[in-house]
Amino acid sequence: MNSFHSGPSIKLYGKLRNWFNFDKNNVLQVYSGKIDIGQHISSTLALISSKITGINYDQVEIIKLDTDISPNEGKTASSLSVPDSGSAIKAASFSLRKAFMKYSLKTLNVNFEDIVFDNGIIKDIKSNKSISYWDYAKTNEFNELTIPEKFDEKEIREFNYKNDHKVEIKTIHDIVTGKYEYVHDMIFPKMLHARIIRPPNYFSKFIKFTNNIDQKINKLDIKIIVKNSFLAILSTDEYLVVKYLDIIKQNIVWEEVKKLSEDTVYNSLKNNDKESLLVKSGGEAFYENIPSLKEFKDKKYTTLTSEYKKGYLMHGPIGPSAACAIFTDKKFTIYSHSQALYDLKLSCSEYFKIDPNNITLKFRPGSGCYGHNGADDVAFEAAILSKEFPDIHILLKWTREDENCWEPYGSASLNKLTGVINDKGKIVYWSNEAFSDTYMTRPSNTELHNFISYNFINNNFTKHKSTPKTKAHMGIHRNLDPLYDFGENRLVKNLVHDLPLRTSALRTLGAFSNVIALECFLNELAKTKNIDPFEIRINHLRDERAINVIKNLKDHMIIDIQIGGAYRGIGFSRYKNSAAYCAVGVELKVHDDLKIKLINAWISVDAGEVAYEDGIKAQVEGGFIQAASWSLYEEVKFDTKEIISKDWDTYKIIEFDNIPNIKTSVIDQKGFPYLGVGEVVAGPAGAAISNAIAEALGQTVKTMPFTKEIITKELLEN
């Protein structure tokens, strides 16, 4: 490695003042275009800046994203927060320290050996004169300082910093003491509380109120907004809103324009109209002819085929989505926990036909979701209502049923695989066809129909046909291209149209199902030749860092003696083939009633240079638990008329009694680029669980989640 690159954000925001502010006494304020959704990015960015600038961590403050002052670093998504914002702040910190040191030595007229540098202050040992970062920030030099787009390795090595810091999470004190304010908690004078009056499904047209309920309610301190099929209820008294929401729902006539579904989702994935693209090495998708499956008739080749299925998954945040908005002086101010505030700004600008400069989005914490849940929709809806009641703050909260039934889900998917292994244990042919709906329907200024309420406002019940994304590892074909050397690959992305449910970005997009299918089918092929699961992976890898992560996992698993009656499985992936590397091992038991009990889990991860080790561990361990929940419990249920999974009784998630003992090993690659770590563990975790279950049952269960009903059905079918 010859240099450190500052990342894409520095190309757009190249001045030091874009990232740092010293106006607050003894505090370094850091700007970032990324938001903290529980992934500790605030702590990570503060620690990066602290250990390079030399300013105490406690004196570094990360400014919450505000579109008026924060750099536009795109969405907080795709595991790019540390690679983008972290790299930019690392570069800014290097630039600041280098320039400050040079300025101070010149101003004090001293040599480096004659100073003491402590907590952002340089002091001349002899004269006791000093200069601080806060002094330097008042100079024209600081104001005009430009950050290089890359640094030489020698330049970086001049700063001797460590990566093993233990710090208190930035927000933890306020959270545990109850001082932390979520957008749900915001209070303003004369504020109106609001709820949306939802129909039975996406294809329901408002006809009328019954029993004169609207007239009766108007006599109370309650307001009803009706815009075609978009309905809302508001009051200064939140209790009244909650009480009468259900009453109104029982007194409405809706017209069913179309049924929600006509067939099972897996039949629809196979039979509906679809667009098929060829995915090539490197992960891009192309509109080219799809080659036919090859046949290998020589006896030295063994051919297997398999099919893996996964249902719809919801984000299921513990707190439903919420937003607060006010329209005053022809300007909007919107408080939101969306991961895409700059996109929201442009979308609202387009909808309301006003200058984007007249819309300010301010991040306020909500329940983190890792993807596109209801946060964008609720912000849009709050803005619409605020326009109806100028100069008054509107606090709109989704209900639990809103969140479960109206958020965009992670798509159901199906993977068809064919693999050929020779008599020497080498896989010479690999085919993987992924069938799924889109994972990319975040609203934009050109796609306002991606706001669910936009369609009801316009009484437009046409399901829009998505366009396949073709860039490397986008959406459906994320991690479809294997990191392994399988000889010849046949990779096909199938975007299936007219599927029943609304879908968009959920943590990992298509990688969760693609990695699980890959890693489980790899084990199936290994068993035909009686090859060890670790061995077959290592034998098909050329990337030394990938090999080292798998070996690291093996070393840690060997230390712990396998429990009697328990079974083990492993999984591996490099997220997008460009972010972090992760290998996961799982030990579990399958009880007589077919319930799965997780006992132990081992995680080995290489995320490049370690910015914040505890943050990495929290990400992969939390990600493991989420993936375990997806694998064992979660699936959105629906019928021809509505979503059935309306609450936590009808949408099961993992509980505390099935969280395994987790041991995590983080491999530090100091001096190497930061690699995104937020999504890397999901696929390997699901694969490790699936492979362990296969060891226990003697066959692979190929439909998720691995419930008693699904396992029983597959065992009986085989």
* Residue 420 vs residue 176, higher pLDDT: 420
* 312-339 mean pLDDT: 96
3-state class of 166 per DSSP?
coil
Which stretches of 336-444 are DSSP H helices? 341-352, 375-388, 400-406
Distance between CA 321 and CA 375 in Å, rounded?
A: 5
pLDDT tier, 267 (very low <50, low <70, confident <90, very high otherwise): very high
Considering the domain architecture, whether residues 236 and 381 belong to the same structural domain is answered as yes
Q: Give the residue from 125, 147, 175 where a domain finishes.
A: 175
pLDDT of residue 161 exceeding 80, the answer is no
Considering the domain architecture, whether residues 401 and 414 belong to the same structural domain is answered as no
HSE (side-chain half, CA atoms, 13 Å) at 676: 20
pLDDT the model gives residue 224: 96
Per 3-state DSSP, the chain is made up of helix, strand and coil in percentages (nearest 5) of 35, 25, 40
Considering the domain architecture, whether residues 297 and 158 belong to the same structural domain is answered as no
Considering the domain architecture, whether residues 571 and 684 belong to the same structural domain is answered as yes
Considering the domain architecture, whether residues 470 and 611 belong to the same structural domain is answered as no
73-96: per-residue pLDDT in tens? 999 998 899 999 999 999 999 999
How far is the first Cα of the chain from the last one, in angstroms, to the nearest whole number? 52
pLDDT the model gives residue 1: 47
Query: Based on C-alpha coordinates, what's the Rg of the chain?
Result: 27
Residue 708 in any domain: the answer is: yes
pLDDT the model gives residue 254: 97
* 208-218 mean pLDDT: 91
Considering the domain architecture, whether residues 717 and 679 belong to the same structural domain is answered as yes
Considering the domain architecture, whether residues 452 and 353 belong to the same structural domain is answered as no
pLDDT of residue 2 exceeding 70, the answer is no
Q: Are strands 3-5 and 150-152 parallel, antiparallel or unpaired?
A: antiparallel
- For residue 188, what are the domain limits? 183-258+315-406
685-694: per-residue pLDDT in tens? 999 999 999 9
Q: Are 79 and 677 in contact (CB under 8 A)?
A: yes
Residue 528 in any domain: the answer is: no
Q: Residue type for 646, please?
A: K
Query: Mind giving me the DSSP string for 652-681?
Result: ----GGGPPEEEEEEE--TTSPB---SSTT
Q: What is the tally of structural domains in the chain?
A: 4
Considering the domain architecture, whether residues 249 and 383 belong to the same structural domain is answered as yes
pLDDT of residue 265 exceeding 70, the answer is yes
Residue 630 in any domain: the answer is: yes
3-state class of 359 per DSSP?
strand
Considering the domain architecture, whether residues 42 and 12 belong to the same structural domain is answered as yes
In CATH, what number is assigned to the domain containing residue 225? Answer: 3.30.365.10
- The neighbour count for residue 123, using CB atoms within 10 Å, is 19
Percent of the chain with pLDDT over 70: 99
Residue 533 in any domain: the answer is: no
Q: Give the residue from 504, 528, 553 where a domain finishes.
A: 504
Residue 700 in any domain: the answer is: yes
Residue 57 in any domain: the answer is: yes
- The neighbour count for residue 525, using CB atoms within 10 Å, is 22
Q: Give the residue from 384, 406, 428 where a domain finishes.
A: 406
Considering the domain architecture, whether residues 149 and 218 belong to the same structural domain is answered as no
Residue 521 in any domain: the answer is: no
Closest listed residue to residue 404, CA positions, set 628, 643, 182: 643
Considering the domain architecture, whether residues 201 and 245 belong to the same structural domain is answered as yes
Token pair 């890792």 in the structure block, residue: 370
pLDDT the model gives residue 603: 98
Residue 523 in any domain: the answer is: no
pLDDT the model gives residue 159: 73
Q: Worst-scoring range by mean pLDDT, 150-164, 336-350, 474-488, 597-611?
A: 150-164
Phi-psi region of 570 (alpha: psi -120 to 50; beta: other; left: phi over 0): beta
pLDDT of residue 3 exceeding 80, the answer is no
Considering the domain architecture, whether residues 383 and 281 belong to the same structural domain is answered as no
